[in-house]
Amino acid sequence: MENKQDATARGRQASVHRKTAETDVTVSINLDGTGVANINTGIGFLDHMLSAFAKHSKMDITLKCTGDLHIDDHHTTEDCAITLGTAFLQVISHLF
């Protein structure tokens, strides 16, 4: 299984791209945003929850994912979470 991640971080912003055999995910976050969300995972409820997270945390999140939804939602949900978590780690890694 191919697993490729590229990450960049500046200040309190980060962008991460993760590509596996099942999904292709790109995430950008800005912790100093205004709560703007641009989410497209192909899973309506996941899009809604991530948009609510951005809105109520006042951070900007852009997340695009294509995946094997014809099989199930599992890989898309998992890889979106891994990629979003990696972006957070890029932003706060200096604290550790």
Q: Is 35 left (phi over 0), alpha (psi -120 to 50) or beta?
A: left
Average pLDDT of span 51-71: 97
Looking at residue 5, its pLDDT comes to 60
- Cα gap 56→83, rounded to integer Å: 20
Helix (H) or strand (E) holding 40: strand 37-40
The predicted model scores a pTM of 0.88
- Cα gap 23→37, rounded to integer Å: 20
CA nearest 3: which of 15, 13, 16? 16
pLDDT band at 7 (very low <50, low <70, confident <90, very high): low
Average pLDDT of span 54-78: 96
Contact criterion met (CB below 8 Å) for 79 and 23: yes
Looking at residue 53, its pLDDT comes to 98
Judge whether residue 1 has pLDDT over 50: no
CATH code: domain of residue 61: 3.30.230.40
- State which residues form the domain around 45: 3-95
Number of domains in the chain: 1
The per-residue pLDDT of the chain, averaged, comes to 91
